[in-house]
Amino acid sequence: MANEKIHVKDREIVIPGDVLAEGMSYIPSGKAIREDKNIISVSLGLTSIKGHVVKVIPLAGRYIPKRGDAVIGKITGSAKFGWMTNIRCPFDADLPIAEASHSYLDTNRYPMSKFFAVGDFIFANVTEVSNRRFVRLSARNRPYRKLHDGIVIEVSPTKIPRIIGKQGSMIKMLKESSGCDILVGQNGLVWIKNDDPEKQMIMVNAIKLIETDSHKTGLTEKVAKLLKGGK
């Protein structure tokens, strides 16, 4: 084990091509790969080192859908099978009629737009991603559903874990201190609802702050202060 070497510390910013470690005893994870003896980063990211596991957590990038993801989507149109949605990814996502609601939707009797109109938002589960182009959603079972009113904002999908926080601590604080309903989609869309538009705006600001300051110390305190100051 003479040539085993690690070149980075924990929580260091790395870019593609950075050699993170040399030697066969290191194990790549996340956006790190092995190339011959070396572990290299293939993405802009933050390192996480646990023993001999060298992981790179991405700091930027668009959403690429995965089966099982909870996402927020916007209805963009309808067809015989159901509705087309935009889930902010390179592919269209379909919401079949049978998967759209826990109750029966009589689309023979009523126009499709009675149930979901263009511009409506849904909270849904990605049930299928085949050959990358074909994405299917379901909003049949709770908590998935149509989102009534509220506002949807865009954040970087890589910042979603920070908005949720450790064991959901951040999202819990956001909800409790403001009385807003909040749903977070892994595709980087966040739905906020409160009858008071000012409270909605303060929550938008709080979430934008988490997005831009996600690496800074004392983030939780800063967010708490912002929420308090706005009351």
Partner 1 sequence: MGMKSDKTLIVKGKRLDGRGAEDMRPIKITAGVIKQADGSCEVQFGETKVIAAVYGPKKVLPRRYEESTRAYLKVYYFMAAFATSERNRPGPSRRSTEISKVIKESLANAVDLDKYPQTEISVYIEVTNANAGTRTAAINAASVALVDAGIEMRDIVTSVAAGKVEGQVILDLMQDEDNFGQADLPVAILPRTNEISLIQMDGDMTPDEVKKAFGMCIKACQKIAKLQREAIVNKYKQEGGNNDE
Partner 2 sequence: MNSKEDVSLRKYIASLLKKNLREGGRKPFEYRNIKIETDVLSQANGSARVKFGDAEVFVGVKVGLGSPFPDTPNDGVLMVNGELSPLASEDFETGPPSPRSIEVSRVIDRAIRESGTIDTSKLCIEPGEKVWMVFVDVYPLNEDGNLFDAGLLGAIAALKTARMPAFDKKTGKVDYRTLTKEKVPLSEEPVMCTFWKLDGEIFVDATRRENKVADCRLSIGLNKKGNVCAMQKGGEGTFTDTEVFELVKKAQSLSKDLRKHF
Binding-site ranges for partner 2 (CB under 8 A): 74, 76, 117-121, 149-152, 197-198, 200-201, 204-205
Of 11-19, 120-128, 174-182, 191-199, which part binds partner 1 (CB under 8 A)?
11-19
Q: Report the nearest approach of partner 1 to the CB of residue 212 (Å).
A: 6
Which of 2, 47, 1 lies closest to 28 in space, CA to CA?
47
Q: Which is nearer to partner 1, 215 or 225 (CB)?
A: 215
Q: Report the nearest approach of partner 1 to the CB of residue 154 (Å).
A: 12
Q: Which is nearer to partner 1, 59 or 75 (CB)?
A: 59
What does 42 bind: partner 2, partner 1, none (CB cut-off 5 to 8 Å by kind)?
A: partner 1
Classify residue 150 by burial, with Cβ atoms within 10 Å: 0-12, 13-18, 19+.
Answer: middle
Distance CA(181)–CA(8), nearest Å, equals 41
Q: Name the token pair of 56.
A: 């790179």
The three-class DSSP label of residue 199 is helix
Residue 116: φ, ψ to 5°: -140, 120
Q: Name the token pair of 211.
A: 């997005």
What does 64 bind: partner 1, partner 2, none (CB cut-off 5 to 8 Å by kind)?
A: partner 1
Q: Which is nearer to partner 1, 30 or 185 (CB)?
A: 30
Give the orientation angle of helix 197-212 with respect to helix 219-229, to 10 degrees: 160
Residue with tokens 């902010």: 88
What does 198 bind: partner 2, partner 1, none (CB cut-off 5 to 8 Å by kind)?
A: partner 2
Q: What residues from 154 to 193 belong to the interface with partner 1 (CB under 8 A)?
A: 158
Contact 75, 119 (CB under 8 A): yes
Residues lying near partner 1 in the complex (CB under 8 A): 11-13, 15-19, 31, 35, 40, 42-44, 46, 58-62, 64, 90-91, 132-133, 158, 212-217
